[in-house]
């Protein structure tokens, strides 16, 4: 079996800080000290309506017995996943996770672009002292799109340190903020201004798939991952993924990386891997999607 690199492995809930989830899923921008109660189903709660039967579990207060990272690594071993991009870990946990599970995870830290040079210095410290493997940014949470100049000192430092950046690139369903905060067009300025910076567009740019494909062809150091999208829809007629499959199987076959997002779909690594292998892709291409492209991106 070929090794696999997963571009989105969720932190087990038993290891997560629910306060971070509560804050990040609150109002976009700076919270108001005396905010009024929000309408039912507003903001991130709208995801529960759009994706019926998939309640957001991370906000629950009760302890979760999911085996933590030990069981996660065992599940990875059984499925042949060599390593994965771990999402949900606090910045301060980076060094400890690497020490416990050397070589098993890539951890991209999240920085606040409004912290200016303090944030840049902390980012550099996390890379050099804690082993952070890159930078993770999402306009979905802070409302600041990827080409905002407040990010530029962080991009410059990532380029200097030669570590990659993962940028949220997809439509969102949180109906208290613009739906296109993650439009792929925001990546164009970043790739133009930092041509040496390795960038991965997280969540593949849906529904702006054609724009995403065009940008992948335009910028040599721009990549894409499939996180948060179930593979069964990629080959489904009318799903909007037609160009992704066409070019992902041909001209863009070296630019696509798989994000299994097992935590989101509530299933096993193996079932998702099998679903990818069942896609109408050339055998050599699916091996690139599952491992080879991410190995080159992460320089493994």
Would the pLDDT of 290 be above 70?
yes
Would the pLDDT of 57 be above 50?
no
14-18, 207-211, 223-227, 283-287: least confident range:
14-18
Would the pLDDT of 59 be above 70?
no
Q: Output the average pLDDT for the chain.
A: 93
**pTM (2 d.p.):** 0.91
**182, two tokens:** 């993650």
What span, in angstroms and rounded, lies between the C-alpha atoms of 4 and 80? 6
The pLDDT value given to residue 31: 64
pLDDT confidence bin for 116, thresholds 50/70/90:
very high
Those residues whose C-beta lies under 8 Å from the C-beta of residue 269, and which sit 6 or more positions away, are 6, 75, 76, 78, 79, 81, 260, 262
- Residue 280 CB coordination number (10 Å): 9
Would the pLDDT of 98 be above 60?
yes
130 — phi, psi (to 5°)? Answer: -110, -5
Say if CB 123 and CB 91 are below 8 A apart.
no
Q: Percent of the chain scored above 90 by pLDDT? A: 86
Break the chain into its structural domains and give their ranges: 4-27+40-132+204-298
Would the pLDDT of 62 be above 60?
no
User: Edge to edge, what strands does the sheet with 4-10 contain?
Assistant: 4-10, 81-87, 105-109, 134-137, 165-168, 199-202, 222-225, 256-257
Q: Average the pLDDT over 204-233 and give the result.
A: 98
Those residues whose C-beta lies under 8 Å from the C-beta of residue 256, and which sit 6 or more positions away, are 223, 224, 225, 226, 244, 248, 288, 289, 293
Q: 4-27+40-132+204-298 adopts what CATH topology?
A: TIM Barrel (3.20.20)
The pLDDT value given to residue 58: 45
Report pLDDT digits (tens) over 262-282.
999 999 999 999 999 999 999
Say if CB 215 and CB 188 are below 8 A apart.
yes
34-48, 89-103, 252-266: least confident range:
34-48
pLDDT confidence bin for 37, thresholds 50/70/90:
confident
Report pLDDT digits (tens) over 145-179.
999 999 999 999 999 999 999 999 999 999 999 99
């Amino acid at each position: 079996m070929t090794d696999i690199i997963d571009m989105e492995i969720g932190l087990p809930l038993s290891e997560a800080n629910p306060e971070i989830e509560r804050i990040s899923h609150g109002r976009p921008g700076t919270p108001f000290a005396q905010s009024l109660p929000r309408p039912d189903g507003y903001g991130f709660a709208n995801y529960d309506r759009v994706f019926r039967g998939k309640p957001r579990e991370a906000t629950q207060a009760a302890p979760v017995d999911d085996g933590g990272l030990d069981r996660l690594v065992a599940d990875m071993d059984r499925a042949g996943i060599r390593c994965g991009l771990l999402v949900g870990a606090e910045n301060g946990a980076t060094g400890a996770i690497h020490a416990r599970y050397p070589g098993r995870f890539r951890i991209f830290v999240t920085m606040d672009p409004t912290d200016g040079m303090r944030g840049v210095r902390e980012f550099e410290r996390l890379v050099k002292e804690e082993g952070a493997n890159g930078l993770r940014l999402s306009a979905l949470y802070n409302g600041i799109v990827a080409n905002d100049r407040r990010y530029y000192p962080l991009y410059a430092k990532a380029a200097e340190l030669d570590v990659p950046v993962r940028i949220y690139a997809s439509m969102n369903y949180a109906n208290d903020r613009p739906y296109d905060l993650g439009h792929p067009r925001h990546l164009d300025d970043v790739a133009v201004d930092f041509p040496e910076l390795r960038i991965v567009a997280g969540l593949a740019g849906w529904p702006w798939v054609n724009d995403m494909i065009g940008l992948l062809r335009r910028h040599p150091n721009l990549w894409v991952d499939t996180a948060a999208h179930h593979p069964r829809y990629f080959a489904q007629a009318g799903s909007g993924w037609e160009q992704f499959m066409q070019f992902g199987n041909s001209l863009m076959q070296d630019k696509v990386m798989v994000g299994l997002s097992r935590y989101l779909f509530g299933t096993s690594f193996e079932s998702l891997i099998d679903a990818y292998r069942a896609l109408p892709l050339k055998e050599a291409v699916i091996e690139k999607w599952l491992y080879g492209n991410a190995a080159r991106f992460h320089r493994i």
